[in-house]
């Protein structure tokens, strides 16, 4: 409660004499919370609360500058020491909410194509040295979340020596492929919950962890999401649409759509392993259980992909040992 009172005092100091109502708006998986400030004239702002002992708001400010070519919130005020930020309000309707309201094929297609256009716009001006590198060390740290939190904590099945060998073999092949991809700006959580339905073009939120990394990462985040599933035929169609637009924009994607689809699939394996671990960590370390029901979706994604490619067989064998051999319908093979 003290943080909320401090936030209200900070806001009042920024807008002396104005009547302001503050209401809860959203909370992230980390320690950030968002409040909506409603002014007497009906206008609104979003206020970020990021406890400075736990969060650093400066990467958000920097990433916002880098991504100024897309529709990201204007920063109206920022106090890094207090951990408060006053932002433009991009509304209340996320792409996820829009899709949950209307999951028809025309709506899915229209929203995903808007998201893809935004992604291409974000990526096409990418330069090295502007954002942190999504390097091998970071990719490995993310992968380690799976054995540490999904296997050991959630399943209570720490890897045996033989399973660790399978894991190491799979990771070596996977990382070699991922690190060979061309590199662009990566939002790192480009999902329908972080896209806002706004006039003209989508609003984009939650970009503070942006990096410079594999070109397929954000696309697989969008199409293989935690909170909504798309059938594989639709996913393939959207990958092709992105690939065509990316090539036209000069983004360094492979010349062959088959090669690019393989890159998307393999990048997905890295992300799915990471996210399964993160969602389990949120429960076992932080007591946040709302993400735990989504873990089976990522295990299904992992089974679906790792059994398609012989090089990823160590992961598939490991998954069978950990969670069993329930059939996963893929619909396609490559």
- Which residues on adjacent β-strands are paired with residue 211? 186
pLDDT above 60: residue 329? no
pLDDT tens sequence across 29-60: 678 899 999 999 999 999 999 999 988 999 99
Number of neighbours of residue 57 by Cβ within 10 angstroms: 21
pLDDT above 80: residue 248? yes
Distance of alpha carbon 55 from alpha carbon 209, whole angstroms: 11
Domains of the chain: 2-88 (3.30.200.20), 95-323 (3.90.1200.10)
What's the whole-number mean pLDDT along residues 167-195?
Answer: 97
Residue matched to tokens 């360094």: 252
Instruction: Select from 29, 267, 280 the least CA-distant residue to 145.
Output: 280
What percent of the chain lies above the pLDDT cut of 90? Answer: 87
DSSP state of 292: G
pLDDT tens sequence across 91-139: 999 999 999 999 899 999 999 999 999 999 999 989 999 999 999 999 9
């Amino acid at each position: 409660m003290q943080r909320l009172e401090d936030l209200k005092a900070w806001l009042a100091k920024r807008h002396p004499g104005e009547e302001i109502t503050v209401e809860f708006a959203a909370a992230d998986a980390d320690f950030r919370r968002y409040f909506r400030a409603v002014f007497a004239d009906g206008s609104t702002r979003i206020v970020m609360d990021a406890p400075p002992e736990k969060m650093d708001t400066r990467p958000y400010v920097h990433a916002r500058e880098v991504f100024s070519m897309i529709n990201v919130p204007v920063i109206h005020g920022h106090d890094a020491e207090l951990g408060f930020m006053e932002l433009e309000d991009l509304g209340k309707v996320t792409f996820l909410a829009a899709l949950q309201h209307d999951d028809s094929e025309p709506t899915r297609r229209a929203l995903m194509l808007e998201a893809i256009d935004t992604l291409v716009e974000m990526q096409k001006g990418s330069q090295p040295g502007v954002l942190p590198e999504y390097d091998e060390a970071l990719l490995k740290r993310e992968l380690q979340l799976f054995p540490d939190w999904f296997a050991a904590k959630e399943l209570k099945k720490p890897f045996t020596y033989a399973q660790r060998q399978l894991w190491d073999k799979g990771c070596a092949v996977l990382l070699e492929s991922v690190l060979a991809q061309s590199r662009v700006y990566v939002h790192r959580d480009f999902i329908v919950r972080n896209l806002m339905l706004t006039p003209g073009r989508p609003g984009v939120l939650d970009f503070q962890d942006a990096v410079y990394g594999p070109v397929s990462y954000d696309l697989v985040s969008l199409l293989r999401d935690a909170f909504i599933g798309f059938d594989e035929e639709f996913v393939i169609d959207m990958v092709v649409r992105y690939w065509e637009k990316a090539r036209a924009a000069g983004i360094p994607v492979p010349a062959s759509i088959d090669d690019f689809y393989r890159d998307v699939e393999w990048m997905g394996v890295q992300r799915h392993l990471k996210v399964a671990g993160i969602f389990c960590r949120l429960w076992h370390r932080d007591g946040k259980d709302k993400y735990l029901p989504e873990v089976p979706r990522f295990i299904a994604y992992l089974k679906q992909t790792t059994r398609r490619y012989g090089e990823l067989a160590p992961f598939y064998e490991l998954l069978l040992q950990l969670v069993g051999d329930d059939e996963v319908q893929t619909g396609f093979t490559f």
